[in-house]
Structure 1
């Protein structure tokens, strides 16, 4: 007998409910594992504050006040500051015959970037261009007429542009342009503006292979189509069809710049504008019109050919010879790659200027080095529409010991016809002695040691600029002998100069050298000052920032000093023998470099690369107090004492407070950090949000529940924050006041959007022009980076937003950044790469860092005790906490990072896709197996977790993350709406499935009984 229709419907209904139940149950499980990411994406917090007394609930505690009353006012100020920064940071590279400011009002635009400007980079620093202007718009706004709009339309229709993912520059050829319908739109007498654009971003470095391919060649060298356009424009100029050619370089990464002065291209003026942020293009039009007089100075050396940079010979990811003999499992690539910083301290201008001086002085086997064939524009270079003269240099010395400093004052006079600003750059020179040669200490001919900038000077006006130079900047790190910073015996120089090359020429002039001796130009000896020193290895045996002992901490990052190096060895560049030690890019037939340091995998490198339980300290049974009920402090009680004074990190009350924390609470604090710190309701610790991106706040103001936009229900709260020009442009301003104003506004954006922490600023070094994230970082120079970043960091933190300076440290390339072994000698590491992080801590009390993906030597940077604790907290004195870069469980380890002094991971348990954590509902499961009584109990780890919790809580309690928290409030968990919805759906489907099953069973049972009754009747 066939089943009834009723039973069929019951079966279908029950099956559907069961399937839906399984799907919803699975979805609910997965969603809970990714709760952190979901909540972050939806802008949901999982806690709320409620009154714990009869206090007025309408009173909302704010610990940092805003200067603004609305999002609209804040955005207006941000957009104006972007324009100001771009106007002051853009660098005028060339201006023959006073081509700029433009005389006529008709211009024509060329280049794929003319229709697709570069506003920012890709990845974490990406800039929203939704409301950003275009080149035609800003030129029209500046009163210009773009006479070849038909060509721009043709560009768009032809889909010309830049394909960063493939390293392509899809520029039109000159022949295509000539054949287009727009060819007749180039009027006579106008200026042709050719825009060169390049884009960099996270996870990819720029391609640097052969130079002549229009699609997949050297990304930072003009390709054949771009060169052909310039040649064609030059022919137009010679024929009188156009009057001049102006090039705009819309790229954060310096391009190979020999083309700018190539006579075949006839370029009259060139302006580097970097990546411009949201409103920076308006400033470009301001400069072209003369409304703004450019005053930017290059934060990097610009090479005629970027491949002449010696760092390029060892800029990539290489595989250890013999790595195939070691079993690293499925993630072998994160264990078996490396890069060597063979150039040592000779990064950028430290190489070019030092080799140049040795050539002039006839020392160091300088070889056939021709400065002007290598350097297009030196570090610090920048023209103006006016001329300036520096004079009357005065130097005085003050202070004792580590407090010793030189005060340098210089009179600056505007000798031209246009009002403008002038940067004063102060450089130092240390003597290069036999002691250095014996102990492998290298010294550059000049190093930037300070800077200042005038206000706007009218023609004929003067201003005295004063710059303070710490004596510490004249020391050298003696890695192979004393292990401290030394002042060598001999004569030291200070000079005020326009740029690094002028600085060397000034010192050479003071030494009696002239153009006839091989100098490129005469220097000014009057702008130099000399000091004589005796050998001193005692004064700076104490750290500049803290007075703690300086010791050699990074021998294992130098392959020559690494105990398990085997036969590996590297010869670093030395000014004692330029020809014999300099490695330069040497291409094979395919354009790929073959001249690099070759290393072999050793047993010790392999062992140090893998973090497992064998590396953990033995359990000593000395457990910290946990879960104490003797006190009942709330976190807010640790903010200020009864007199209103801030409670210090080492105040004894902290020990009593930390005794309250349980092992589980310590675990959660140290296990979760995906752009956040977790809430601990029992102690009144709120969840805090962090923003990711060094170009400004790129998310909506409505994201954070304790942001001012949400608290005031601002009508514009769904807008996003302001995004600023690349950090290279910010550095190029050499203007601390302006940088401070940028930092204030970034801090304000964070306040209004509800962030307590900010992933930035980016302090890695422009080791080469090809690093993908050059736009996030400031300069090739560690001191300029550190000084500028210190000003910006201090300003952001003044708004209660702690800054995670990143990526700590040696993350100066993107290729194979996950796990790559980075080998660098200790002098270079300290004087350039760590200096960038040191100065914001010393000068601005920078609170936090984001650690890097790479290894320092063989050890993951996040698990290096010498880096994270001995140097960062010891010598430098950082008080806050560290977060990893995006956590990758295939080679990172949370127990190891906490033991090293790195405090939280940038992930949420359950994260996958980067080799992340196993799935679990226990946020601190990574640490559970090391708890008291567990299988691997480990008291040293518990003590380290307690100290990490101390750093996290201390930083948060003194931040705007405590907004909304007072002595009369408490924190309670809130289940997010999506979780409630899924749970209700799961229970509802479970009930419906059960009901359907019951009905089906009853129906089947009822049919069986009816059959039995019929049989009995027949009988």
Structure 2
């Protein structure tokens, strides 16, 4: 009897535990239902057509490819083309292109190439080619292939376990004592590969303090005090190779930098390491590595231009003084119920507009001009390679520079042309970069408007490879708008100051400022690094103009100050806080750098802020922020009309039939549509709107082509449908091509991949800014420059959306680091926000009609970016004119709020809140709940219902004009079905409830009988 009682107890406990696990699994599965159905290739709805219809399938966007294999081949070829045009030659003492065909490979990354980043942009590297494959394909002989096997057998290579810092390079002494030592050092050229990897959710280490307690000044053999500097093992390999070169055992040293993140590069010019040539190849994507061998042999001539400044030491970047996440000094005085770091962490962009070349070239010019308070600054000690820099195996000359001004008002365009001639002996391509200089005046100083010495305002690239003596005229259109500056403290709009403006054609940012300095009469005798070419400079005199660009460039709406609350100095709740932003009016008095004042491994030179009562209140999204119900309820569930969504295909967004369609939707439908958005939009059978799927991939579509039932791979039952889409090289390398046509072609192929895989939307492209090289997602983003980012993103967006796939450019806005990104309070001047960080989002909308955005985890000042009406309604829709919808980054209910996001103009949460999704509810850490349950609900709020209707309008309009409507025509109806796995889970829960109840009852009866 006792034994039987024990069995009953065990059985009861097991059944109850299984019930709990199953309920939890059902909850989690509900959140990811769209992805589960996609993975299992399950349709959640059946399309029913009128028997008399006769149409089998409707496609609104056609593919130019006939099969998956054909598409995949095109994608792989395009990755090679991107690397071929984006790879940037940094240094060449004449050793490249290689004249001999024997090379030896060194470095852990030579054995384990960097194809992409980690997190949402991760790349499937199974079966990807290696450096050995690339070199041999190009006709090179790798003499020390056994060393690559040795790296694998000895378990070297990137390792992110504690204490390894991700480099895990071999010592030179181990290499020379290895079994492969006899295979190299016979006169070949040595190729040393340096690799770094970044990814989502963490930034790259600046110090090694986070290794678990080891003294940061006593790094062990595998550690590196700065992940973007070469560590002792890597420098030791270069020293060993130089010794071999000095002894005549190898003929030269070539360094390949296989990293999206720029590394500190002083070592490349240090005689101690003997580097003869260096090339940045970024992260190479799925197949791009094949181009590397062709670049080394000269079969392809490198033509990339750096999208970032490369520093001799990355810590010389003034943005580093305030990189990371810091805590308000008095944060403990305020009571946050949970997740305090999501409310109390902050960052200050103290450098203002002076990131990258905007700092280096401006301080350089002020040094040459002898401007007071510039301080000591030696350009070559700070900059290894300037923004836009890139060498070639041939030489080019620029001539016939010409500028004409066309149009008037906000339509004014400068047409800049220059003749490019190949003056060398080898064929090649060349980029022309156009830079502008705006005058820095007393008005600017008074109103704290900062001006950099040069701003990139356009670029163009030769369309063909030019042979010796051949020429091509490049013409670049530069909107006058790019000459305007944002005047936050004066007019609150964009202005053009009185003074002389310059335009110049150059090969990089440093050559641009040297050209302008030459036009000002300066030479090397004044401290210039090289004489400029004043023939490449155009100047124009302007009078003060505060009217033309008081209307927005995108829509013509009034421009007003929207982001004063992001500037701690202008924020009404700023209290005693005050930040002295970096200013060229006083470099010495305002400049800060990363500084460890007490040798603890941490930066101590950051801006210290205190939290105020107003700031505390603004960080919390509670019912105080919800407007009182005005009882102005929208029409819901109207039976007056019966429109199908497809009926509105050819109607404008504001057509009256949209109101009739929206009137049809019930509260439950509005709520469900705007509450469920985890990489999907839900189906609404009443208006025949299908469920659509989105892909999360800044590197391209990296899921199987069979992912979505609505994809062409499944529609045609393609034999290769289980192949994955193409993973493209890092976005920085794409930007480095400065080839708009190529970028658009990449976009078109990504759109094709989405079509074939069944996606209607793409979570990408990533267009945040490379504020520092240490941000984890540098590989997802394009550049340190907002204009280059915006223009490249515009062409990529054009390509993707041409295939009926809407693009969520992300992350809006100021999500320029990963550490403590959730809730991070970002404080920055409105000028910097508009001219750099939002410019990247503005241009794809203005030039490419980019439909969607993903909002960011961080705060704009004290308020979560996803609940900023100023950002999402006033700027995004009002000034810029985005017509589509916004989705949050992965929804976190502990500091985000659905009612607040809806009221601000954020349309979908990137989550699935429950099995029904029929109630819009936001829960804060203080326990407040809000709902728009409807006219008869407990807490009715008509404004939230109106916001749901507006969001539904944007979602429906975007989906209607996408490939998500494939298979839907006027004769189609939708019947929803429950997937088998949901039925199974529900049945399991019911069964376990019954069995648990019976078992518990049986046990209780047995225990009573015993008594």
- Global fold match (TM > 0.5): yes
Q: What residue number does 2:490 align with?
A: 481
Q: Work out whether residues 78 and 746 of structure 2, in 8 Å CA contact, stay in contact via their aligned partners in 1.
A: yes
The 1:989–1:614 alpha-carbon spacing in structure 2 relative to 1, beyond 3 Å, is: closer
Query: How far 1:23 moved relative to its partner?
Result: 2.8
User: 2:752 maps to what in 1?
Assistant: 748
Larger mean Cα displacement after TM superposition, 652-661 or 47-56: 47-56
The residue aligned with 1:606 is 616
2:18 to 23, 44, 47: 23
Alignment correspondent of 1:99: 95
Q: How does 1:477-516 map to 2 (within 5 A)?
A: 477-516=486-525
Give the 5 Å matches for 1:372-411.
372-411=380-419
Find the aligned partners of 1:350 and 1:304 in 2 and give their Cα distance: 16
Alignment of 1:541-940 (within 5 A): 541-587=550-596, 588-640=598-650, 647-910=651-914, 922=918, 924=920, 928=931, 930-940=933-943
Corresponding residue for residue 136 of structure 1: 132
> What is the root-mean-square deviation in Å for CA atoms of aligned residues?
2.4
Q: Which moved more, 1:582-591 or 1:564-573?
A: 582-591
The Cα of 1:580 is off from its aligned counterpart by: 0.8
Q: Deviations over 1:311-369 (max 9, x none)?
A: 00001100001000100122101000100000000010000000000000111421110
Q: Cα distance, 1:992 vs. partner?
A: 8.3
Contact 2:96/2:296 (CA < 8 Å) preserved in 1? yes
* Structure-1 residue corresponding to 2:927: none
**Out of 292, 296, 299, which is 1:288 matched to?**
296
Cα offset for 1:675? 0.5
After superposition, the Cα gap between the structure-2 partners of 1:713 and 1:923, relative to the gap in structure 1 and judged at 3 Å, is: farther
CA displacement at 1:51 relative to structure 2: 2.5
1:161 aligned onto 2:164: no
Number of matched residues?
985
Q: Which residue of 1 aligns with 2:86?
A: 89
Q: Distance in 1 between matches of 2:969 and 2:17?
A: 44
1:993–1:672 distance in 2 versus 1, CA, 3 Å: closer
Distance 2:157 2:323 in 1: 27
Please state whether the residue corresponding to 1:329 is helix, strand or coil: coil
Cα distance, 1:599–1:18 mapped onto 2, change above 3 Å? closer
Give runs of aligned pairs for residues 172-321 of structure 1, distance below 5 A.
172-209=170-207, 213=219, 214-321=222-329
Distance 1:22 1:731 in 2: 53
Which has the higher mean CA deviation after the structures are superposed, 482-491 or 156-165? 156-165
- Classify the secondary structure of the residue corresponding to 2:278: strand
Distance verdict in 2 for CA 1:909–1:295, change over 3 Å:
same
Query: Would you say the 8 A contact 2:919–2:931 is kept in 1?
Result: no
Q: Deviations over 1:756-790 (max 9, x none)?
A: 01000011000000000000000000000000000
Q: Please state if 1:539 is matched with 2:548.
A: yes
Q: What does residue 420 of structure 1 align with?
A: 428
| Runs of 5+ consecutive residues of structure 1 not aligned to the other structure | 641-646, 911-918, 1008-1019
CA distance in 2 between partners of 1:674 and 1:208 (Å): 34
**Cα deviation, residue 47, structure 1:** 2.9
Deviation at 1:17, TM superposition (A): 9.6
Distance 1:236 1:252 in 2: 30
SS of residue paired to 1:465 = strand
The worse-fitting range, judged by mean Cα deviation, of 816-825 and 585-594 is: 585-594
Distance 2:366 2:1003 in 1: 95
After TM superposition, the score normalised by the length of structure 1 is: 0.94
- Structure 1 residue 524, shift from structure 2 partner: 0.3
Task: Tell me how far 1:55 sits from its aligned partner.
Answer: 3.4
- State the partner residue of 2:73: 76
Instruction: Give the counterpart of 1:37 among 2, 11, 32.
Output: 32
Name the counterpart of 1:643.
Answer: none
> Which residue of the partner structure matches residue 446 of structure 2?
438
Q: Does residue 332 of structure 2 align to residue 327 of structure 1?
A: no
Relative distance call for 1:630 and 1:922 in structure 2 (3 A) is: closer
**Relative to structure 1, is the Cα distance of residues 990 and 606 closer, same or farther in structure 2, using a 3 angstrom cutoff?**
closer
Q: Distance in 2 between matches of 1:569 and 1:904?
A: 36
SS of match in other structure, 1:577: helix
Question: Are 2:70 and 1:64 equivalent residues in the alignment?
Answer: no
TM-score normalised to the size of structure 2?
0.94
The answer on whether the counterparts of 1:199 and 1:251 sit within 8 Å (CA) in structure 2 is yes
Q: Please report how far the alpha carbon of residue 979 of structure 1 lies from its aligned counterpart in structure 2 after TM superposition.
A: 2.0
Larger Rg: 1
Shift of 1:921: 6.7
How far off is 1:864 after superposition? 0.5
Residue 453 (structure 1) aligned with residue 461 (structure 2): yes
CA displacement 1:244-296 (0-9 Å, x = unmatched): 00000000000000000100000000000000001111000110111110000
- 1:352 paired to 2:360: yes
Partner of 1:644: none
